[in-house]
Every structure is written in C-alpha cells, then in structure tokens.
C-alpha cells in the first residue's frame, strides 16, 4: 500500500520479500548516482561527457550524476526514482526468468501495433466524452503481466499484478505495459546523439499486444456507436449513445464513464473542444481526418478477456 506521504511502510504491505528487494535496488542506485531534480531537461550542448538519455532521467556515469524531471520523481523508499525504474525493479524481482512463447505466437505478437486513433473533423452538437477507467491498469489486473496470449487462438492468465506497490500512481503502473518492449539506448557523446540497440532482460511483447488489441476491439465498438473521435481509451460520440458505448465497454469487463459533455469541435487527432474541456493544442487544424482503427472480428478476444476481467470485479 502507498501512504499519503508517498512511502511504502512495513506494516501496510504483506509481501516483505518483494518490498525489501525493491528497496535494496533503489538504495543501490542512489549510492551509484547523485540524483538532481530539475523542472525540465537543459540543452545537451552544455554537456561534454557521455550521457544516457531517457524519458524521465539523463545519466552521466563518469560524473556519477543523473538528472530527473522533478514532477515525475517518486520516493517510495526515501530516494528519488523514476516511474520506469520502479516498474522495472518490480518486474526483475517478480519475474526473474524470461517468459517463453511459441515461435508462431511470437511472430503474431511482433506485428506492429499502436493505439487506436480516429478523428472526424468538424463541429458537433450535444456530445459526450467517454473513457475507460484506468484502461491499461485494468487490463493488467485482469490477466497479469505475463499473460499467455496468441491472437485469435488463446489467452491465459498465469499470475496477477495486485501486489504492485504503487497501484494508484498512473505513470508507474502504465510503465509495466511498456517495460517489456525493446527500444534503442539513446546516447549523447558530447557532440552528437547516437542510438545503440540493446536487449531487454525481461522482454514481453505479449502484454503490449493484448492491450492494443483490446483497445482496438473497443474502438470498433465505439465506431458502431457513432464515435467521431477516438484516442487510445477516450471516445467522443453523440451524447444519446454514450450509455450504449459504456454498456459495450462493460461487456469487455471494463468500466466506462462519461467525463465531459457539451458541444464539440474536432480539429484533428489529439485536438478538440468539448464543453468546457479544451485540449492544449486546440485550434491546430489537421489537413485530413484520421482513421487508424484496426477493423476485424474481436469476438474471440472479447469473450475470453471478459471472463478474466469480470472475475477481478472491475465492474
């Protein structure tokens, strides 16, 4: 459990082994690097030393310093950590062995997947913005991080993530989904940025694929309900049909809810006004409508995923 002060206390969490192991990793990292919290990253041209560049942290091994964006820093063990570090530490302890999958299964999971996007530009009367409550986290809770998934063939649950120490921290829990992906290491060598391919000690493309397939399946349902805008797990559609979409989301075992209502302007992907809600990039009009929803038959996935989801009492 997470206390209001942002720390994990011994008497609030039953799995002492997991907590103490995570604490050890965090403290070892704090001894290796002096962490400086900054509001934003500074120009790389001011650095002459080799520095590794991450989304939340820049690390310079020769100086023994790392810079971390202050608003993203978390302090569960009294020392600053990034959400991605916390997630990786959890996975390294809970899943020390590499996940296994069949070769055909891996081939299917490696097919490119991205979150659904859809935007039909224009002005609309009386709309509702519906989203899925804690979408990625709800999917993880339903099937576990090491779900055994082969699209259109099988879906199995091996473990659970309900022992994750920071369940209420959105960034920290969402990092569990991306932690299994492999991405290049970005390096500043003092004069230019280069990238190096490195392996992932805990590769898991299955949970990413499953999350995106579920979201695309729900996006297909949203289009059937007249959606004019879709972005990952958020949907804008005519208000009279909002409950229909919420019911369809419930059939997947997830929780839909109305966040905003009102007259709407869709400028393009990621840019809209609805009622009093204004996106930061409003008034940026796109040159064309966006349609990146993967059509298909999601009945197998919906039937089997909903069994796991409903068993976790998410709805």
Residue 126's region, left for phi above 0, alpha for psi from -120 to 50, else beta, is: left
Q: What is the dihedral of CA 68, 69, 74, 75, to 10 degrees?
A: 50
Alpha-carbon Rg for the chain, nearest whole angstrom, is 21
Q: Which CATH architecture has domain 117-158+204-311?
A: Alpha-Beta Complex (3.90)
**3-state SS, residue 137:** helix
- Are the C-beta atoms of residues 119 and 236 closer than 8 Å to each other? no
Indicate the domain borders of the chain.
117-158+204-311
pTM: 0.90
SS3 content of the chain, % helix, strand, coil (to 5): 35, 25, 40
Instruction: Render pLDDT for 157-181 as a digit per residue (tens, 0 to 9).
Output: 999 898 999 999 999 999 999 999 9
Residue 11 scores a pLDDT above 50: no
Residue range 129-141: average pLDDT?
Answer: 96
Residue labelled with tokens 């930061």: 280
Residue 258 scores a pLDDT above 70: yes
Say how far apart CA 220 and CA 312 lie, in whole Å. Answer: 24
């Amino acid at each position: 459990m997470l206390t209001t002060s942002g720390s994990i206390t011994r008497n609030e969490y039953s799995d002492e082994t997991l907590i103490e192991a995570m604490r050890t990793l965090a403290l070892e990292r704090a001894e290796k690097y002096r962490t400086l919290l900054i509001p934003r990253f500074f120009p790389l041209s001011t650095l002459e030393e080799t520095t590794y560049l991450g989304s939340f942290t820049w690390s310079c091994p020769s100086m023994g310093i790392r810079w971390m964006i202050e608003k993203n820093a978390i302090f569960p063990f009294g020392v600053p950590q990034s959400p991605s570090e916390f997630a990786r530490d959890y996975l390294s302890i809970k899943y020390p062995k590499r996940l296994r999958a069949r070769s055909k299964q891996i081939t299917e999971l490696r097919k490119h997947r991205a979150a659904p996007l859809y935007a039909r530009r224009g002005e609309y009367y009386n709309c509702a913005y519906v989203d899925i409550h804690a979408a990625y986290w709800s999917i993880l809770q339903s099937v576990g991080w090491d779900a055994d998934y082969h699209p259109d063939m099988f879906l199995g649950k091996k473990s659970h993530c309900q022992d994750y120490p920071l369940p209420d921290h959105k960034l920290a829990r969402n990092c569990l989904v991306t932690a299994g992906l492999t991405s290049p290491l970005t390096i500043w060598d003092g004069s230019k940025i280069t990238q190096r391919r490195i392996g992932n000690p805990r590769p898991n493309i299955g949970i990413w694929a499953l999350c995106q397939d579920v979201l695309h399946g729900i996006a297909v349902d949203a289009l059937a309900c007249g959606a004019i805008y879709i972005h990952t797990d958020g949907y804008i559609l005519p208000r009279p049909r909002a409950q229909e979409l919420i019911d369809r989301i419930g059939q997947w075992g997830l929780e839909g809810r109305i966040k905003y209502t009102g007259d709407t302007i869709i400028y393009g992907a990621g840019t809209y006004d609805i009622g009093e809600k204004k996106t930061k990039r409003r008034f940026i009009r796109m040159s064309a409508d966006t349609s990146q929803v993967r059509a298909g038959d999601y009945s197998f996935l919906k039937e089997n995923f909903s069994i796991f989801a409903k068993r976790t009492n998410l709805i």
